[in-house]
Structure 1
Amino acid sequence: MSDLQTGLIALGVLAIVVVLGLNWWQDRRARKQIQDGFPDSGKDPLLHGAEPGMPPTEGLRREPALGSAIESDGNVVGGLAARDADAPAPQHDTDEVDEACETVIDISFLEPVPGDELAAFTQGIRHAGQKSLRVFAETTEGVHRSAIRSGERYASVQVAVLLANRSGPLSAGEWAEALSRSRVLADRFDGTVEASDSQAVLDRANKLDAVCAALDAQVGLTLVASSRRWSSSDVLTAAREAGFSSIHDGRLPWIDEHGAVRFTLGRSDGVSLGSAGAATIGQLSLILDVPRAPADEHAFSRMAKVARQLSGRLEATVVDDNGRPLADGAEAAIDKQLQALYARLEHSGLKAGSVRAMRVFG
């Protein structure tokens, strides 16, 4: 390399050093001028006003995604952790899938789903044929929910399918419908579906149905008009005086001091008592639905006593399921038989009047 080339390279390096030094000096001078414009504050100016002359609190910008908390002196502290430091941790809902009488279809989402969107879409997931569907969910924080809430985000949904009720065991068609509804939900929110083998589910349904069928019982009494037929208003007036509550599903419930339905009163022909009309009613039925009413050592006696009260008000005869007049003392014998049935129900995990019994004997 010649002396000329060496000299040119040295001059180039010197020029670069001079330019870098000049840039450093200009940058330092600019910073000093900016600092001199804020003589009373050592804070970041972006937290105290983006525009000259703007009061500090008016110019404060908060990032909603960070949820920053501001101390009295203007410092940003803690973000979400500071805002929620005193907030109680979310609690799990207590209502859960009943594995004894329900099977579960799991739906997992690839991305969190807002509660508002999920709730609106799951409103229609309530039945598959004659079987009820219940929707549970888990938040992104792992909190179990029996009802979807707005303001939360969800990672998964569980669809609980009832295996059997008084319409019979879960059928292949009902199971296919439940799976279809679940897959539609999964497709809507980009999720995946997991469920038990179909044959295994149907086998469980048949076994539960067999157990329920062996334990299901309803005991009835009938009021037969003696001298005149009744109108709906006649029956409603007499029933109200005997302690019955308002019409529900066409029948009148008799509710005890704990709010439990003990038995019901209705027309023997199945027509709703709410259908007002002329004196066309000749028979009324009182029904004790054994699995759905809480166990009671005087369950039948209680209903028979009310039936006799009504018979006096309506001029009627009380007869049993065989059409024979109810004999004095028959109540005690029937109550004894019911005690054995109550014990079998409880032993089978279907305690009379329990939530599970109400579900499968519905």
Structure 2
Amino acid sequence: MSDLQIGLIALGVLLILLVLGFNWWQDRRVRRKMQTHFPASEQDPLLGAGLGAGAGAPAPSRREPGMGGESAAHLPAEPAAAPGSDADDAEEPDPATEVVIEVHFSEPARGADLLPYMQSLRHVGRKPMRVFATTDQGRHRARLHAAESYGAMQLAVLLANRSGPLTAIEWSQAWARAQDLAERFDATIEGPDQQAVLEQAARLDDTCAALDTQVGLTLLLHQAQPAAEVLNIARDAGFAAEGNRLLWPAEDGAIRFTLSRADGAAFDAGMGGIERLYLLLDVPCAPADPRAFGRMVDVGRDLAARLRADLVDDQGKPLADGAEKVIDERLQVLFGQLEQAGLPAGSARAQRVFA
């Protein structure tokens, strides 16, 4: 090998090391900037290196809802400050489950001009986005008001949900929307490196997949009954309607479990009869309860008596005596694991990622 070849090889190695060093420095600089906006909390397991109980372990395949589709997040509304108020809104981006793109306007932008653009900032692919803003007076807003002007905005993109982790395409779409916003309103944008985002999304998805559990029961009606009659009986039993399903609410309004038709249709859709109903306990999205499953069994048995139906498990077998107690004991372990992972059952954070 000639001296020229050796020299070229050495030069190539040096250039590669310089590129790797520059990328490391750039990633470190961006992370430091983001941490100034969202300092890590020592009390939040999801913000730690291990990402909760599921980190480092082999990730099982994500278990999708077994009884009628994904459950929608039922998030309580945070109180919002009135337009022009000196108070800050309480709701903020969640750095443990969302990645934030910062938008800084060269001149304050009017809320009335920004609001028509908000429709395009609700989703990227199958991941929801939340929009936050800082007024020209330095007040934090969880929603924009036409009468205010804003010096900056934050676009918070969910890192993972039941559709899987945030993908490179979804992140690129979010970045493209931020760039479009910046071009329209003369702004600059800042955000973390794509690879760091995708790695964080994958870790969160692994954690959620390890904890995602749903428990179902089936009501087999002895004969088909009109949907309107079934709906009235369910309402009399204590269910409340929401979209195509019925909800069993807790005292604070949170959803304990749901009731849906086997065909997924709304209870007031069509004239055909109903022969099968599904009860579903979405464990991460329901409030922690020592009798989470037992409570659903009690309601299911009452509903079965009202509808002249048989209550069976998701394998089509009658419930064994004491089965609810055994399952509730297992669910208490899962509730504890969710808490340790920084995803308390029924919390707004859990409902975002388990949707």
Please give the per-residue CA displacement for 1:149-183, whole angstroms capped at 9, x wherever unaligned. Answer: 23322111110000000111001111111111111
Shift in CA distance, 149/278, structure 1 to aligned 2, threshold 3 Å: closer
1:136 aligns with 2:136: no
Is the contact made by 1:233 and 1:276 (CA closer than 8 Å) also made in structure 2? no
Note the residue ranges of structure 2 that are not aligned, 5 or more in a row. 1-83
1:170 aligns with 2:166: yes
1:242 aligns with 2:246: no
Q: Which residue pairs with 1:233 in the alignment?
A: 228
Equivalent residue for 1:155, pick from 143, 151, 158: 151
Question: Alpha-carbon deviation of 1:256?
Answer: 2.0
Note the residue ranges of structure 1 that are not aligned, 5 or more in a row. 1-87
Q: Which residue pairs with 2:302 in the alignment?
A: 309
Q: Which residue pairs with 2:179 in the alignment?
A: 183
1:256 aligns with 2:274: no
Q: Which residue pairs with 1:274 in the alignment?
A: 268
Please give the per-residue CA displacement for 1:122-152, whole angstroms capped at 9, x wherever unaligned. Answer: 2321000110011111112221111112332
1:355 aligns with 2:348: yes
Q: How many angstroms apart in 2 are the aligned matches of 1:233 and 1:264?
A: 18
Q: How many angstroms apart in 2 are the aligned matches of 1:256 and 1:147?
A: 28
Instruction: Read off the aligned partner of 1:278 and give its amino acid letter.
Output: G
Higher relative contact order (CA 8 A, sep 6+): 2
SS of alignment partner, residue 88 of structure 2: coil
Equivalent residue for 2:331, pick from 338, 342, 347: 338
Equivalent residue for 1:328, pick from 309, 317, 321: 321
Alignment: residue pair count: 272
Using the size of structure 2 for normalisation, the TM-score is 0.74
Q: Which residue pairs with 1:209 in the alignment?
A: 205
Q: Which residue pairs with 1:223 in the alignment?
A: 219
Question: Alpha-carbon deviation of 1:197?
Answer: 0.4
Larger radius of gyration: 1
Using the size of structure 1 for normalisation, the TM-score is 0.73
Instruction: Read off the aligned partner of 2:307 and give its amino acid letter.
Output: L
Q: How many angstroms apart in 1 are the aligned matches of 2:133 and 2:233?
A: 47
Is the contact made by 1:231 and 1:276 (CA closer than 8 Å) also made in structure 2? no
The farther-off stretch of 343-352 and 252-261 is: 252-261
Q: How many angstroms apart in 2 are the aligned matches of 1:271 and 1:123?
A: 28
Q: How many angstroms apart in 2 are the aligned matches of 1:203 and 1:274?
A: 44
SS of alignment partner, residue 182 of structure 2: helix
Q: Which runs of 4+ in 1 moved over 6 A?
A: none
* 1:291-306 equivalent positions in 2, closer than 5 A: 291-306=284-299
Instruction: Read off the aligned partner of 1:310 and give its amino acid letter.
Output: L
Q: Equivalent pairs: percent with the same residue?
A: 51
SS of alignment partner, residue 120 of structure 2: coil
RMSD: 1.4
SS of alignment partner, residue 323 of structure 1: coil
Q: How many angstroms apart in 2 are the aligned matches of 1:103 and 1:344?
A: 24
Question: Alpha-carbon deviation of 1:89?
Answer: 7.2
Shift in CA distance, 173/89, structure 1 to aligned 2, threshold 3 Å: closer
Is the contact made by 1:106 and 1:158 (CA closer than 8 Å) also made in structure 2? yes
Q: How many angstroms apart in 1 are the aligned matches of 2:131 and 2:255?
A: 27
Question: Alpha-carbon deviation of 1:230?
Answer: 1.9
